[in-house]
Amino acid sequence: MPQKPHASDIIKQVVPPLAVWAIETLLKRPKISKAVEKLDKRARKNVSKNRTMLVAGFAVIAAGIGLIATASSSKK
């Protein structure tokens, strides 16, 4: 007889798509989309001025992804 899934398992499956939907809904609002557009313009200007900081940011992101992958790998 198949076992019923636990509530925590169901929640883990439902929450990520719900979070994506909520964020997408917020970002589609006119006020927020205008603010994001302004931030994008400022970011483009800052990137051209601070290339070193951009490269350092990418390095930190890559290191973080590596740490997450190491932590989530199965330990044998």
pLDDT tier at 8, thresholds 50, 70, 90: confident
Instruction: Give how far Cα 67 sits from Cα of 54, 60, 61, 70, 72, Å.
Output: 20, 10, 10, 5, 9
Q: At what angle do helices 30-49 and 7-27 cross, to 10 degrees?
A: 80
CA atoms within 13 A on the CB side of 45: 5
User: At 6, is the secondary structure helix, strand, or coil?
Assistant: coil
Of all residues in the chain, the percent with pLDDT exceeding 70 is: 95
pLDDT tier at 74, thresholds 50, 70, 90: low
Residues 28-50: b if buried by 16+ CB within 10 A, e if exposed: eeeeeeeeeeeeeeeeeeeeeee
Whether the pTM exceeds 0.75: the reply is no
Q: For 9-24, write each residue's pLDDT tens digit.
A: 888 888 889 999 999 9
Residues 52-66 have a mean pLDDT of 91
